[in-house]
Structure 1
Amino acid sequence: MKQHRPVVRVVPNELSFNTAQSWKDIYGVRKGRPTFIKSDFYDGGNFADQASPIVSERDLAKHSEMRKFLATAFSDRSLREQESLITKVIDRFIDQVGRRGVSKEEIDMTMWSNLLTFDIKENWTIVSTNPLAASLGATNFDSPWTFSPERWLGANNLDQLEASQPFSLGPRFCLGRGLAWLELRLTLAKLHYQYDMELVDEDVDWHHDVAMHLLWDKPKLMMRVVLRDD
């Protein structure tokens, strides 16, 4: 979509968007308007006959019921109560990274981050927002391909920050969002506090060497890790 306009007709009855507004229109809760139903594309995510995981359940009532059963475990209160348990797992991860850093061996951070994460109808027009195109669209972000974390800090009149929705939006937003942020903040803070890290393979192109199937298939992130002197 980098070479096209904000909306692309990918097949005769399917439109793909890359705008901030499309997140709200398609995935958001709109008073007095019905919620968009997921397309039959998500039927491919079923793991058993006539049984769907929460991510691919298309029936709104069933999805709401499934989410209600799981919501308590992912609430802010529950996550605060579980933070000590999560921290123990992260500390073991930090320790394992450090041990391999001392031995000078290269570390596959992709594998280790995966281990950490898992430890812890035909005439209708189908619409969706393409997360990658929205997050890297020049109409939404100034120099979108440039690593510029400061764009998320303070006042920013150059970027449409709402165009980036990695956890989706609305009643189907990722239930594990709070857990993901907690895990990410604690892990990165502890990792960078204790170690200096060097990227081994600088030729890895993270925008082209990845694939999205049911889960994100990513290349190895090989690092050299050294305990910080200070």
Structure 2
Amino acid sequence: MGEPILNFVRVFTAAVVFGLLYIFSKVIYNVYFHPLAKFPGPKWAAASNLFYVFGWTGGRWAFIVEDLHKKYGPVVRFAPNDLDFSTVDSYQDIYGTATKGRKQFLKGNWYNQGPGGTRSLVMSNERDPVKHREIRKLLAPAFSSSALRAQTAFVLKYVDMWIEQIKKHGGADEGINIEEWYNWLTFDIIGDLAFGESFGAVENAKGHEWVPEIKRGIAEGQLIDVFRRVPLLRYFPSLVRGQRAPTHRLANSKRSRDLVEKRMKSGSERADFFSHITKNKELDLSLPYLTGQANMLVIAGSETVATALAGTTYYLLHTPRALGRLVQEVRSSFIRCKDINGDTTQSLPYLNAVISEGLRIFPPVPAGLPRVSSGDTISGYAVPAGTSVSTSFWTTTRSPSYFSSPRSFCPERWLDRDHPFWEDRFADDVKDASRPFSIGPRACIGLGLAELEMRIILARLIWDFDLEGVNGTKELDWEESVTMRMLWEKPALWVRRREVVR
């Protein structure tokens, strides 16, 4: 063997040995000497990011974290520099507004990433709290009470069309996949509000091609954090549950950009989101910026609402008592379907309790939203500055520490004590443990619209139809069938409708 080859072998061997020694020493440090070494959790989760990477991309992360909390308690270390909490106090500590002597926890660098590795221009991803506050203030008119009243007409228009399509298609023996139909409806509503035009899904009783693209783009978003933690996997994305490179997010961004450009050129004064945004001359009205906001609106305004509606419908179909009480309230409260709107549904206590319970038992965003600790305490635990921290929405909202019968669908827990359906067993429930829209300065800006949509859609569905689960829906185990890809991927939910005769 020649001298050059021997030298190469020696160098290569030395590099491998030093590499292995580095990895070994890093593992030992992470497990035993890291500032977070005192916090409970699996040792191999503390050793490297691989536990998190494969759990996060495996589709069951929310359930994995819940099991970790059951085993280790209210705070769990699930990666070398990451802690997750399952206490109601941690919501305020992590996501709340800054107070005297306590800094606001900032978003980490995960939120910097836009499609294709570009810097994200979405308001919800802005890490600087001052800039975020300024942008949110400027966008607020698009989500104000007066704007919401104007937007109600858009919601009612598509709900009316949706109900008529269900009358045509929902009576067959096989029924309809209402999970899919919810997506069509919310997608059309947000399309009209964001871009000034419908996607035609409800009108054609057929999903728009962009709907599955958006879902795949959301799923690909998981890879951003994976590649940040384990850069080598960027070159082998198929090692992570067969994922491919995140191309759908780029395609979605391009589609949004084209629609935004078309909407801006139209010069329309209709009462949609962009009519409010473009009136404000202080905003950055560049095409990339508006495209970023449009992407946020489409995902947050369609997929999350559709998920909440699908989950709530599943639990209603599997809880006859709750479904019967909802039917009784809705059908005794209105004379005509035209009387069902945002204002009238707001005064229906059981309907609103059903929505609150649906959001509690199946929150559309199940995983904790990471923040960077400023060095303050969280739920009484001293957490070093720079630690990535989160509260598991899924675990906390389903904890027996905060709710009686936490895994049961019980809208009654949200009623006032003088309501005839109130039950004393819920007297000690800690309702603040359910925070499906988060809290503090980063709470969902579209909360009002989401609740408006859910109230009107569920009320109209219950007013017009008796619903029955078919094609396996009665036997379906929802929790075993869903997977988590940033948001939820849900199974088909087949229902057959029977029109109510009046």
Q: Normalized against structure 2, the TM-score is what?
A: 0.43
Of 216, 225, 230, which aligns to 2:488?
Answer: 216
Residue aligning to 1:59: 128
Unpaired runs of at least 5, structure 1: none
- Specify whether residues 64 and 211 from structure 1 end up closer, same or farther in structure 2 by C-alpha distance, changes over 3 A only: farther
Is contact 2:172–2:496 with CA below 8 Å preserved after alignment? no
Residue aligning to 2:436: 166
Letter in 1 for 2:398: L
**SS of alignment partner, residue 185 of structure 2:** helix
**SS of alignment partner, residue 441 of structure 2:** helix
Letter in 1 for 2:465: Y
Which moved further from structure 2: 28-37 or 62-71? Answer: 62-71
Is contact 1:109–1:222 with CA below 8 Å preserved after alignment? yes
Residue aligning to 2:399: 137
Residue aligning to 1:187: 457
- Specify whether residues 100 and 56 from structure 1 end up closer, same or farther in structure 2 by C-alpha distance, changes over 3 A only: same
Query: 1:197 aligned to 2:467?
Result: yes
Is contact 2:112–2:120 with CA below 8 Å preserved after alignment? no
Query: 1:115 aligned to 2:377?
Result: no
Letter in 1 for 2:392: N
Residue aligning to 1:17: 85
Unpaired runs of at least 5, structure 2: 1-65, 190-371, 373-383, 418-425
d(CA) in 2 for partners of 1:203, 1:55: 38
Deviation at 1:87, TM superposition (A): 0.7
RMSD: 2.1
Residue aligning to 2:97: 29
- Specify whether residues 203 and 53 from structure 1 end up closer, same or farther in structure 2 by C-alpha distance, changes over 3 A only: farther
Residue aligning to 1:126: 388
Which moved further from structure 2: 19-28 or 112-121? Answer: 112-121
Letter in 2 for 1:7: V
Letter in 2 for 1:50: R
Is contact 2:112–2:119 with CA below 8 Å preserved after alignment? no
C-alpha distance after superposition, 1:47-83 (max 9, x if no partner): 2512332233322233223323321111122101221
d(CA) in 2 for partners of 1:218, 1:102: 23
d(CA) in 1 for partners of 2:123, 2:475: 37
Letter in 1 for 2:109: D
Deviation at 1:38, TM superposition (A): 1.3
Letter in 2 for 1:34: K
Which moved further from structure 2: 149-158 or 60-69? Answer: 60-69
Residue aligning to 1:8: 76
d(CA) in 1 for partners of 2:171, 2:482: 30
- Pair member with larger Rg: 2
Structure 1 or 2: more helix by fraction: 2
Letter in 1 for 2:501: D
Of 152, 166, 176, which aligns to 1:97?
Answer: 166
Query: 1:150 aligned to 2:412?
Result: yes
Structure 1 or 2: more strand by fraction: 1
Letter in 2 for 1:206: W
**SS of alignment partner, residue 123 of structure 2:** coil
Is contact 2:95–2:438 with CA below 8 Å preserved after alignment? yes
Is contact 1:101–1:227 with CA below 8 Å preserved after alignment? no
Give aligned pairs, total: 229
d(CA) in 2 for partners of 1:178, 1:106: 31
Of 107, 112, 125, which aligns to 1:38?
Answer: 107
**SS of alignment partner, residue 16 of structure 1:** strand
Deviation at 1:151, TM superposition (A): 0.6
C-alpha distance after superposition, 1:127-159 (max 9, x if no partner): 111110011111111111111110111244221
Is contact 1:39–1:126 with CA below 8 Å preserved after alignment? yes
Is contact 1:13–1:123 with CA below 8 Å preserved after alignment? no
d(CA) in 2 for partners of 1:213, 1:66: 28
d(CA) in 2 for partners of 1:184, 1:22: 28
Deviation at 1:123, TM superposition (A): 6.4
Q: Percent identity?
A: 41
d(CA) in 2 for partners of 1:43, 1:208: 33
Q: Normalized against structure 1, the TM-score is what?
A: 0.90
Which moved further from structure 2: 169-178 or 66-75? Answer: 66-75
d(CA) in 2 for partners of 1:60, 1:211: 32
- Specify whether residues 39 and 203 from structure 1 end up closer, same or farther in structure 2 by C-alpha distance, changes over 3 A only: farther
Residue aligning to 2:145: 76
